[in-house]
Structure 1
């Protein structure tokens, strides 16, 4: 995939759109997973991952990883105490999700690598965002943090809703539903934070 991939210009990213985008750009985000070992008679039948399942988990994992990096900064540097507390709680939730996303990658036979490295995907906190956050102070930091985290929450919720409706693996769809619920709650809390109206208006 080239660096010309549109990023924040995309209002909502769905998995069909992601699949079309990666296919057109030559990005191998949906590498065919390796065959899972045959389950024992007492084990649950392992469902094969479709390209939709693979696209979702391979996007959600780096999205959470980058968000955690920004949330770590915000938990220490946001000027508003409520924003710092929000960042700390959300970081814990995103890390817990990573604790389920990474094993899901393994169960699908997919590598634990960022296939979108260097690509500005919608809702992805970029290295440029992190550099800007490190350089920002005071209210400027808060505005950047709130805007980028809202983008992350909104886009990851949108893609997770698409996994729920278009995915095939039961474990992936269950986790996607958990992520959607968590993001809806986080977005509601974010909108009530001091300064959110100015930062997100």
Structure 2
């Protein structure tokens, strides 16, 4: 069913706002080329329970929440592969930690979107955006085991985390809803800490 024009515009405008502010419209999807954001003290942070109202969300808040949901929902199936594709205990622990963090952030984002009375449809459905694993890349992951799988996994995790930190920074700069901005701060801190965790894992 086609959405009314007003709904389409409502979705498109905030999406453009976040992508332009984040500077991530189009570009190479090579995971290895994704730069690591500035380092911060490793810590896992939880965001406060949403407390705003629908009227307190601006377009950037909505766009960032929708993009965060889309990116996280694309990453979780990758993390779910880890127990069956590698026996490395360090990678298994890392994947379990990331999955718990990502699911907690996803739950917060979903709750904020409900609170914002945002459209329930996913405006990013079918889009292979920066930081997202494509269907072809997912097929490659399912076909790999051991060290080759770990190598592919590391590249995709870096791409996702670095892009998540970028768009979270855009939300912190241009968002206005306190709980959404607080969630973005948590995403940025957790993402930076997890990138550092990957650095240690690679150098071990």
Which TM-score band applies after superposition, normalised by the shorter structure? 0.7 to 0.9
Describe the superposition over 1:1-59 as per-residue Cα deviations: whole angstroms up to 9, x where unpaired: xxxxxxxxxxxxx642569959xxxxxxxxxxxxxxxxxxxx96654322211110110
Q: Secondary structure of 1:192's match? A: helix
CA–CA distance in structure 1, aligned partners of residues 77 and 140 of structure 2? 13
Distance 1:156 1:46 in 2: 24
- Distance (whole Å) between structure 2 residues aligned to residue 120 and residue 150 of structure 1: 16
- 5+ residue gaps, structure 2, are 1-17, 27-50
SS in 1 for 2:129: coil
In structure 1, what is the Cα distance between the partners aligned to 2:136 and 2:187?
25
- Structure number with higher relative contact order (C-alpha < 8 Å, ≥ 6 residues apart): 2
Instruction: State the TM-score, normalizing by the size of structure 2.
Output: 0.72
Residue 52 of structure 2 contacts residue 115 of structure 2 at CA under 8 Å; is this kept in 1?
A: no
1:169 aligns with 2:177: yes
**What residue number does 2:9 align with?**
none
Residue 146 of structure 1, CA deviation:
0.6
Decide which of 16, 20, 45 is 1:16's aligned counterpart.
20
| Corresponding residue of 1:37 | none
1:184 partnered with 2:188: no
Which runs of structure 1 show a deviation greater than 6 angstroms over 4 or more consecutive aligned residues? none
* More deviation, 110-119/180-189: 110-119
How far does residue 92 in structure 1 lie from its aligned partner after superposition?
0.9
Aligned counterparts of 2:182 and 2:97: Cα–Cα separation in 1: 22
Compared CA separation, residues 75 and 150, structure 1 to 2 (3 A): farther
3-state DSSP of counterpart to 2:56: coil
Computed over aligned residues only, the root mean square deviation of the Cα atoms, in angstroms, reads: 2.4
1:155 maps onto 2:163 in alignment: yes
In the alignment, does 2:85 pair up with 1:85? no
Structure 2 SS opposite 1:69: helix
Rounded to whole Å, the distance in 2 between the matches of 1:75 and 1:168 is 39
Residue equivalent to 1:124: 132
Unaligned regions of 5+ residues in structure 1, if any? 1-13, 23-42
Alignment of 1:63 with 2:74, yes or no, is: no
Q: Distance in 2 between matches of 1:19 and 1:57?
A: 17
Task: Spell out, residue by residue over 1:67-123, the C-alpha distance to the aligned partner (whole angstroms, 9 max, x if none).
Answer: 111011124322421011100111011111111110111111123433212211011
Number of aligned residue pairs: give it.
Answer: 163
